[in-house]
Structure 1
Amino acid sequence: MSRARYGRYVDGPDPLAPPVDLAEALEAIGDEVMSGRSPERAMREFLRRGGRGQQGLDDLARRVAQRRREILSRHNLDGTMQQVRELLDKAVLAERKQLARDLDDDARFAEMRIGNLPQSTAAAVSELSDYPWRSSEAREAYEEIKDLLGRELLDQRFAGMKQALEGATDEDRERINEMLDDLNTLLEAHRKGEPTDELFQDFMDKHGDFFPENPQNIDELLDALAQRSAAAQRMLNSMTQEQRDELMALSQQAFGSPQLMDQLGRLDDNLRALRPGEDWGGSESFQGDQGLGLGDGTGALQDLADLDDLADALAQQYDGARLDDVDLDQLARQLGPEAAVDARTLAELERALRQSGYLRRTSDGQLTLSPKAMRQLGKALLRDVADRMSSRQGQRDQRQAGAAGELSGATREWTFGDSQPWDVTRTVTNAVLRTVSEDRGTPGQASSGSEPRGIRDKGIRLDIRDVEIAETESRTRAAVALLADTSFSMAMDGRWVPMKRTALALHHLIRTRFRGDHLQLIGFGRNARVMDIEELTALDALWDKGTNLHHALLLANRHFRKHPSAQPVLLVVTDGEPTSHLTSSGETWFSYPPSSLTIASTIRELDAAGRLGAKTTFFRLGEDPGLARFVDQMAKRVDGRVVAPEVDDLGAAVIGSYLGDRGPSDYGGSGTLGAYRSAFGDWWGDRGGWVGD
């Protein structure tokens, strides 16, 4: 019997992984936008920080930098020189032992030669190039030096060559020389602009086993060779002058012939000419205790270059930067597969944000939050408001279903925006009649008096045209004016974002639950102006001296007069006394402390709102005694209310006041309780009760 084995899925993204969740990202981006950042920058900031259980770009960049420091602090570039010195000492010691046993004069002469070797390792190796070794152990150690140097030099240009050529024969070395000669011939032909497709294919057929990367064309071959060759040059640049001189001298002994160095020098010249953009002049400062061989050192330099590329890609500081630019294979090699998964998730998140419709380009090329994004943000903020309102003291658990106003006995066809309960009997009857009429006369209809085949075979097909809703007697509508203080003190004291979140939550509530209400958002600083929700949420804090509540009330009263049949609801959010007003000529008058003229103009316009029947609530932010006295007196004039919420409770306070002030509602009976139920639905009731009247 065959047995199945299960393991982690590693070939690309997990096909069973859930799609990326944009809710957290959108909420974070929305907060950043409302605090004054652009959507593009806000998205970048979220990707840098990451989310709950998700590493961000900064975390990955920190690990890249740490990995780079580890490589530099752990290693030095004396590895090959140390190995050569050890082999040389081994050869000399074995030879001296053999010479001590030999009693002839030539042995004494050889002892003198061995004893007077130069201090330089390279010079000593060169001095012994023609020495007639008597000890077989010494001869093997010296030959190993030449073999080691040849393998290290090849390993600098061709990864894995050091291990592959261990114990190589003369035939193997000859084959390497032939490969290098053919490779240089291919590169020189390409350098001259000659067609090389056929030449490349012949070369790979003959020498493809030297290239485990399996390049598919000459450009891929060049990229692989040039990157490693440039790393070898950077390693040489990182050595001291003494180390470079010794290495150059030793290199002539590689494989016992200078032919290898000639071929490698020719290869480097070709690669420099064909790939001048590689970093041929860089260097690094290795400060560790573990020596690196030439091949391993080159690999370390390549790792450092990969880490530098990853750092640049993760920084996203260049024009047109995208997370798709991060090489996931490179990241997995350096930091492990988990890091690649995190980077892939961030890239998918960025792609989803750009393709989901939450961000859009304006005519001037600026990135903004789309209406779809505003709806999602408003929904999230409204849920947060509901949580805060349901947790207030004095709530009572009342799970009874609320009546949607007094039923009139009449029904009507459902239209977009209606949220009254369906008349189920009339709706199902309409569906049955329509299904029968549509199936009447079709082939195969049952005989007269029997059930139509359409209903028997397919059942009743409910269509939106069938839906009828129960009419109620009360159909109150409200004209709502939210006056939001946009003076600089709001931003300076940390009230800027809560004010915007409150406006967005109220906007979403009215657009989704109370579509018949008319909301106008009015921002007032030195002057006041009507804003749409996108403009208000994107509004940046400016040094705007002045609080022109008079102008804001003028605009609010104009809004109320445009909707004479609606209940006016006036909501004022401010943290300062009025310090400016509009003159009869339309100019702005500013005075601090507030002048009596400004106060009188503001009171006159507030009285006008009172005569229009506006239910007024002031939301006082801060503890300024002068503001508290002014707001209290203003509220008394129009029989309004004053609420002094904490900044985090501002949204709950404004929403609660709106729901209470809009009057009897066909959405949930009279009073605040019915309005709460309408606004938040059964979801809130299931979460822990309802706030009573």
Structure 2
Amino acid sequence: MSRYQYGAYHDGPDPLAPPYDVRDALDAMGDSVLDGTRPDDALRELLRRGLPGADQRRGLDDLLRQVRERRRELRERGRMDGTLEEARALLDTAIGQERAELFPDPSDDARLREAELDTLPNDTSQAIRRLSDYDWRSPAARETFERLKDMLRREVLDSQFQGMKQALQNQDPQAMERVKDMMAALNEMLDKDARGEHTQEDFDRFMGEYGDFFPDQPQNLEELVDSLARRAAAMERLLSSLSPEQRDELAGLMEQALQDAGLAMEMSRLGDALRSRRPDLGWGGQERMTGEDPLGMGDATTALAELADLAELEAALGQDYPGARMDDIDEEAVQRALGRQAVDDLAELRRIEKELERQGYLQRNRGKLELTPKAVRRLGETALRRVFSQLEAGRRGDHDQRDAGQAGELTGSTREWRFGDEQPLDVVRTVTNAIHRGVMDLPRTGEAEGLTVVPDSPGASGGSDVSRPRANGVRLSVDDFEVQETERRSAAAVCLLVDLSYSMVLRGTWAAAKQTTLALHTLVTSKYPQDAIQIIGFSNYARTLHPTEMAGLDWDMVQGTNLHHALLIAGRHLDRHPDFEPIVLVVTDGEPTAHLRSDGRSVFDYPPSPDTLVLTMAEVDKMTRRGASLNVFMLAEDRRLVSFVEEVARRNGGRVFAPDAEKLGEYVVSDYLRVRRGRR
């Protein structure tokens, strides 16, 4: 037999993995959208806060706080003049040792040497240059001075090549020669690349010979150039951050150290090449470090390079520049600064943005992020769940018409299945029909397909020889199927009129109105698909709102609450469905202050003009003649508004509600259900 071995799938994403669940993320983003935030800003806000739910991940703000804390720690790590301080201390030690050797000597040569030491300049670099040719009498002073020069060489090289200080720790002349060879080979490789002659084989050969000088192990020339250029730029920032006197002194020390090592020309070539390749780096900028402990030049350069990387990372995590994308954030920089967990958090945040687009919740139109119809349906379902979570079970209901229909509560009766029926199947009746048909078709003795007949066993009750069927299986026929009858719900024509005026935002009711609109639209289209719903928004004019438009809908900063126009549009919707039960719901926070003239132009007056009130009430009377009750949900208790809605209720017979904004959805949805349940 063939033997199989199973293991992990390596040819891409796991094909059996469940789809990535972004619904909680979309709901959280939807809350911001309903508050009036644009979808792209809502997504950015979600990524800043982090992922909701059980699998919570840190957001960009948390990562940003960590980066800023790391920058603060680095700034407090130490001072940048540690190399100067150490050089001065070694120089003073060497001079003191030499004076101690000269003091007992009464010769004129000793006095001349003392005079030469007395005239040394205060500048450490100039003093070292003067003493470079000095013939030390004291062996201890000579050793200290050589240690000083070696320290400077190592610090200067370490400021350009991280880790060089450790590589040159043993003062091996061959090691310094190898450094010279490395720099010559590096400059030659950069020259070849500038001429377009460089290959990856050249780089691999270079790293094979000198790779131990580069602990970060770059994979190609670009990575190597980037690493060296960042460090060189940090070195320039170190010099720029010192006082002018310190800067001149340290620059002189560096120049002297490179000349002593025979590296001045190669280092100059390298610096020019790096600056020309990466002019975008902060060459010559300043960075303050406030710590107490002195840092060597190499350590200070490392700290400044890390501070520069953190500054770039901070800008990328802030996402505050035009065209900012999550892909701008460098994962390697995140891992260096914050560790592996932060990279995982960042990957999840990136995945949200991509999955929302891949799964069809977001789309880009001319660079602008928009919600798709699928996302709007999801937001509507979420809004409806929140509304129903506030409703008592006893307040839900339907209104019905006795008939065998497509939806509604079960009547207890069944009927034969007909093509196109969507009622629930009555499994017991269906199987019973199949068994009865099998028995009717069964010979007295023998077997039928799917059914087996066996005689009664001896001694059975009455000793009857009537055959007893035993089902080995039941073969169903189309004629066997029966469905359960349900109460057919009558259709309704639903109009929701929503105030879009600026006052809705000022009163903090705008988000509640949008959430209510989405909840009602979702309820009607999902549970009562036979109903015809129309959402009408009104300010100075009224307009019909498409479902995909509602989530991102913004208020109108115009003057006018044109309920007259909104009722005109609602009336046309009801007239297109004359056999439907009319349901009209109005959400507003102010009395009508605008109407349409005969030429179609809107007229605004405050206080409301008589024409506005007369024309609006005329449309209310038309609604009454259509048999439509206007139920008004007031989101304010202004005296004029209260008087107006009381007059509407008196003339129309509709009801008036004054809910809090957070309960608006509960009131509107429950009233719609009450009307459907109560009307026959």
Classify the TM-score, shorter chain: 0.7 to 0.9
Cα deviation digits, residues 574-610 of structure 1 (max 9, x gap) = 1111222334454434332223333232223222222
Letter in 2 for 1:592: Y
TM-superposed CA distance for 1:269, in Å, is: 2.3
Residue from 204, 208, 213 that aligns with 1:205: 208
1:648 to 627, 638, 662: 662
CA distance in 1, matches of 2:566, 2:339: 59
Q: How does 1:1-12 map to 2 (within 5 A)?
A: none
Partner deviation per Cα, 1:331-382 (whole Å, 9 max, x = no partner): 12223334333322221221222222111245x6643211111111111111
Match of 2:151 in 1: 148
* Residue 122 (structure 2) pairs with residue 119 (structure 1): yes
How far, CA to CA, are the matches of 2:571 and 2:259 in structure 1?
99
Shift in CA distance, 468/267, structure 1 to aligned 2, threshold 3 Å: farther
Equivalent position to 1:285, from 281, 288, 298: 288
Matched, 1:574 2:588: yes
Q: 1:47 to 1:252 in 2, by over 3 A?
A: closer
Q: Determine the structure 1 residue equivalent to 2:448.
A: 449
**Alignment partners' CA distance in 2, 1:617 and 1:184:** 83
Counterparts of 2:119 and 2:479 in 1: how far apart (Å)?
A: 108
Shift of 1:406: 3.4
Counterpart CA distance in 2 for 1:473 and 1:189 is 85
Structure 2 letter corresponding to 1:321: A
**d(CA) in 2 for partners of 1:598, 1:196:** 81
| 2:389 alignment partner in structure 1 | 387
Aligned pairs for 1:507-518 (under 5 A) are 507-518=521-532
**In structure 2, how many angstroms separate the alpha carbons of the residues matched to 1:550 and 1:383?**
33
Correspondence 1:490-501 to 2 at 5 A? 490-501=504-515
Superposition map of 1:19-418 within 5 A: 22-52=22-52, 54-100=57-103, 106-107=109-110, 109-254=112-257, 257=260, 259-318=262-321, 320-362=323-365, 366-390=368-392, 404=409, 406-410=411-415, 412=417
CA distance in structure 2 between the aligned counterparts of 1:290 and 1:431, rounded to whole angstroms? 93
Q: CA shift at 1:166, angstroms? A: 0.8
Q: CA offset at residue 531 of structure 1?
A: 1.6
Offset at residue 508 of structure 1 (A): 0.8
**Is contact 1:146-1:256 (8 Å) kept?**
no
- Select between 96-105 and 128-137 the one with higher mean Cα deviation: 96-105
> What amino acid is the match of 1:371?
P
1:117-164 residue CA offsets vs partner (Å, 9 max, x unmatched): 432222332333233434443332211111111111111121111122
| Structure 1 stretch displaced more, 188-197 or 424-433 | 424-433
Matched, 1:609 2:623: yes
Q: Which position in structure 2 is the counterpart of 1:691? A: none
Q: What is the aligned counterpart of 1:529 among 543, 548, 552? A: 543
Opposite residue 232 of structure 2, the aligned amino acid is S
Query: How far apart are residue 116 of structure 1 and its match?
Result: 4.7
In the alignment, what sits opposite 1:689?
none
Query: Structure 1 83/548 Cα, relative in aligned 2: closer, same or farther at 3 Å?
Result: same
Asked whether the 8 Å contact 1:568–1:613 carries over to 2, the reply is yes
Change (3 A) 1:329 1:413: farther
SS in 1 for 2:659: coil
2:408–2:489 contact (8 Å) kept in structure 1: no
8 A contact 1:252–1:258 mirrored in 2: no
SS of the aligned residue for 1:185 comes to: helix
Aligned-partner SS, 2:285: coil
Q: In structure 2, how many angstroms separate the alpha carbons of the residues matched to 1:448 and 1:212? A: 85
Q: 1:210 to 1:621 in 2, by over 3 A?
A: same
Deviations 1:239-259 (A, max 9, x none): 333223222332354388251
Q: Please give the alpha-carbon distance, in whole angstroms, between the structure 2 residues aligned to 1:70 and 1:125.
A: 34
Aligned to 2:448, the other structure's residue is in SS state coil
Hey, what's the Cα distance between the residues in 2 that align with 1:309 and 1:431? 75
Q: Is the 8 A contact 2:240 2:286 kept in 1?
A: yes
Moved more, 94-103 or 374-383: 94-103
Aligned to 1:436: none
Secondary structure of the 1:76 match is coil
What is the rounded CA distance, in whole Å, between the counterparts of 1:151 and 1:39 in structure 2?
55
Number of aligned positions between the proteins: 625
Contact 1:483/1:521 (8 A) holds in 2: yes
User: Distance between the aligned counterparts of 1:307 and 1:226, measured in 2?
Assistant: 16
Alignment of 1:673-692 (within 5 A): none
Unpaired segments of 5 or more residues in structure 2? 1-12, 397-406, 437-445, 453-469
The normalised TM-score by structure 2 is 0.82
1:431, CA displacement in angstroms? 10
C-alpha displacement of 1:500: 0.8
Mapping of 1:487-636 within 5 angstroms? 487-636=501-650
Aligned-pair distance for 1:647?
0.5
TM-score (norm 1): 0.81
Q: Contact (CA 8 Å) 1:191, 1:270: kept in 2 or not?
A: no
Tell me the residue number matched to 2:499: 485
Determine the C-alpha separation between the residues in 2 that align with 1:95 and 1:465. Answer: 119
Change (3 A) 1:427 1:104: farther
Q: Distance in 2 between matches of 1:244 and 1:494?
A: 59
Counterpart of 1:605, as a letter, is: E
* Displacement of 1:112: 4.6
Give, in whole Å, the separation in 2 of the partners of 1:312 and 1:463: 70
Instruction: Percent identity, please.
Output: 46
Residues 577 and 630 of structure 1 are in contact (CA less than 8 Å); yes or no, is this contact kept in structure 2? yes
1:151-210 CA distances to partner (integer Å, 9 max, x unpaired)?
Answer: 111111211111221122112112211222222222223333334555444433332222
Q: Hey, what's the Cα distance between the residues in 2 that align with 1:97 and 1:463?
A: 119
**SS in structure 2 opposite 1:151?**
helix
Partner-residue secondary structure (3-state), 1:75: coil
Q: CA deviation at 1:304?
A: 2.1
Q: Answer with 381-390 or 56-65: which moved more.
A: 56-65
Counterpart of 1:40 in structure 2: which amino acid? D
Checking the alignment, whether the CA contact within 8 Å between 1:381 and 1:501 is kept in structure 2 is yes
1:462-481 matches, within 5 Å, as: 469-481=483-495
Query: How far apart are the structure 1 equivalents of 2:354 and 2:623?
Result: 49
